[in-house]
Amino acid sequence: MAAQLLQDKVCAITGGVTGIGRAIALGYLSHGAYVAVNHLGDPKSCEQFQTMLEESGESKKEESGRRIVEVRGDVGDPETGKKLVRECVSRWGGLDVFVSNAGVCEFKEFLEGRSQRERKDEEERKRRKGETMQDRIREKISIPLTTLPRISPDLFTSTVQTNLTGAFYTIQAAAQQMVSQSQSSSPRPHAGSIIGISSISALVGGAQQAHYTPTKAGVLSLIQSCACALGKYGIRCNALLPGTIKTQLNEKDLDDEGKRKYMEGRIPLGRTGETGDMVGPAVFLASGELSGYVTGAQLLVDGGLFVNLQ
């Protein structure tokens, strides 16, 4: 049996029923931790949590004896983080590790309309069919600017609210609990570890991610500032930056064989990532024994993609 690197540690994770969050939550369980999993609370998320219980074997236990519990709520609501922390404290007496993972990404164009190249391509297709666009030009009728949906104000606001505002509120709630523990008469062995799931997108741009990449850069910056603010309490704050990891956010994109092969060709290790690739790094940063002198760090988990972007 593998070493239990997080034996009896109390961990909480947001967005923990799918993708990277789910893999980390189950990984923490396998290392002996207690895990509180936040999710939105919609029927699909509730069903996904039930499958986590079955996969982990926790469904066979009485509810009061389980090492995993769900906490429903939108991380954009400041109360959700507080509720998540309260559940950890009431059930298991404290909080040792907090993972801010909840995030959304809906790929959209920055502007509506087509690029000049796309316009030329369409004109060429029309020409080959025996048609031209001259009539349109004469009549000053342009190609409609609605062919590619853009980032709407609502999409921008909701992405920031989940990815960055949610990270701020939930990390703040976790940090408050960890600080109170460090100042108690019987402090926990390690003051606490906070992990922010940022992205390689914090370091590079994306044509259809102008609403997303700033939030991931923001998470990285938030973690760096938290490392400065919370170091005096012994609380460590670090960021994980996944590269191309197949999750529900990008699975349709990676199902395109051409796109997948292109990405694999850019990654030195020759493959796109799986959610399980995030577990080891997340366990490392959670463990005070393994990473007790690591704070303010950013760890790329990308198969070497970033250093090969040239």
| CB atoms near residue 134 (< 10 Å) | 10
Q: Which of 220, 189, 199, 221 is nearest to 97 (CA)?
A: 189
The reply to whether 198 belongs to the active site is yes
User: Which of 108, 216, 287, 291 is flagged as catalytic?
Assistant: 216
C-alpha 237/C-alpha 223 separation (Å) is 6
216 catalytic per annotation: yes
Active-site hit among 28, 34, 169, 212 = 212
Q: Is 61 noted as a catalytic residue in this protein?
A: no
CA–CA separation, 48 vs 22, rounded Å?
9
- In the set 100, 193, 198, 199, the catalytic residue is 198
Q: How far is CA 139 from CA 136, 142, 143, in A?
A: 5, 9, 12
Distance CA 49, CA 226 (A): 30
Indicate which residues carry an active-site annotation.
Answer: 198, 212, 216
